[in-house]
Amino acid sequence: MSSIINSLVPEFSVQAFHQGKFKTISSNDVKGKWGIFFFYPADFTFVCPTELEDMADKYAKFQEMGVEIYSVSTDSHFVHKAWHDASDTIRKIKYPMLADPTGALSRAFGVMIEEEGMAYRGTFLVNPEGQIKIAEIHDNGIGRNADELLRKVEAAQFVATHVGEVCPAKWKKGETTLKPSIDLVGKI
């Protein structure tokens, strides 16, 4: 199994439901900015709306950090709209909801469950150069936490702008980082 870390976002073009409209989102829309691809199994399910609401509640903070969120499931853009119209929780979503009914995008990110026709819970942070910097895949019974994702994005953005520094466990913005060197070996 090869790692997806530092690989480039695959070329894609999909339909999306975004701000009350259908639109096409492609890999070109992602270039030049930070982006999170937030795969989930299916609309009208149980854990999924709790995660999507959590991301919706933190969306303004992600936007302040220059990060766009792209939720992705193998449902069509029509189903995304129907879910939006039927659910107060999903109505909170301001980020694009990408439709992947063929599973092509889910396969490209390595989260497709072929026998079920849906994706695992996958979270991928892409930098402005189009490289995947964070990749996390959960089994579908395990929900994610937007606060922890915010912390990871802050760390990735810090490392991207501070060459030679790294963020230790539980690092939060403004805390001390590390500068790896021979002087640190065996002293942490």
Active site residue 48: yes
CA dist 52 to 43, 89, 145, 152, 159, Å?
10, 8, 10, 18, 27
* CA gap 105, 13 in Å, rounded: 9
> Do the strands 34-39 and 97-99 form a parallel or antiparallel pair, or are they unpaired?
unpaired
Which of the following is catalytic: 14, 48, 105, 119? 48
- Rounded CA-CA distance 51/149 in Å is 12
Query: Which 3 state secondary structure label does DSSP give 78?
Result: helix
Catalytic residues: 48
